[in-house]
Amino acid sequence: MKRMRLYAGYLCVAIAFALIVMLGYGVIDPIGMDMTTSPETTGAVLMGLLPSVLIAAVVFAIGLVLVKGARKP
């Protein structure tokens, strides 16, 4: 069971890293951003990127929890 949890954790970390890299290279479009118009402010760009980056960060955090395991008192 521990081995499966470690594999799942490492897989989550790898998927999160791949999502961020693909977002950075423009392979996938951000979820919250309209790609037909150009955003006028930096805040609009950051708000558009927020959902995609947040998903990757959550997947990364889940992976770290799975790899680290439960703490025993």
CA-based radius of gyration for the chain: 16
The pLDDT, as a whole number, for residue 60 is 94
Any idea what DSSP says for residue 70? Answer: P
Does the predicted model carry a pTM greater than 0.85?
A: no
Angle at 23 between CA 28 and CA 57, to 5 degrees: 120
Mean pLDDT of 5-31: 88
Q: Residue 6 above 70 pLDDT? A: yes
The pLDDT, as a whole number, for residue 29 is 76
8 Å CB contact between 13 and 60: yes
The pLDDT, as a whole number, for residue 15 is 94
The pLDDT, as a whole number, for residue 57 is 93
- 35-58: per-residue pLDDT in tens? 667 778 888 777 878 888 899 999
